[in-house]
Structure 1
Amino acid sequence: MSAEHAVYVIRHGQTEWSETGRHTSGTDLPLTPEGEQRARRAGQTLARLRGDAPPALVLSSPRARALRTAELAGLTVDEVTDDLAEWDYGDYEGLTTPQIREHVPGWTVWTHPCPGGETAEQVGARAAKVLDRARAALPSGDVILTGHGHLSRVLIASWLNQPPTSGVHFGLDPAGIAILGDERGEPQLRRLNVPPIG
Structure 2
Amino acid sequence: HTKARIRSITAGRIREALDEGKIVIAAGFQGITEEQDITTLGRGGSDTTAVALAAYLGADYADIYTDVPGVAAADPRIVPDAPFLDYLDYRSMYRLAAYGARVLHDRSAKIAEERGVRIRVLSTFDDRPGTLIGPERPGTAEPAFLGIAVDKKSPEFSVVTILFRTGRGGERVGKAAQAAAPWTRDRIPLEDPDAAAFRCPAASAPDLARALFAAFRAN
Same fold (TM over 0.5): no
Larger radius of gyration: 2
The higher-RCO structure (CA 8 Å, 6+ apart) is: 1
TM value normalised by structure 1: 0.27
Larger relative strand fraction: 2
TM value normalised by structure 2: 0.25
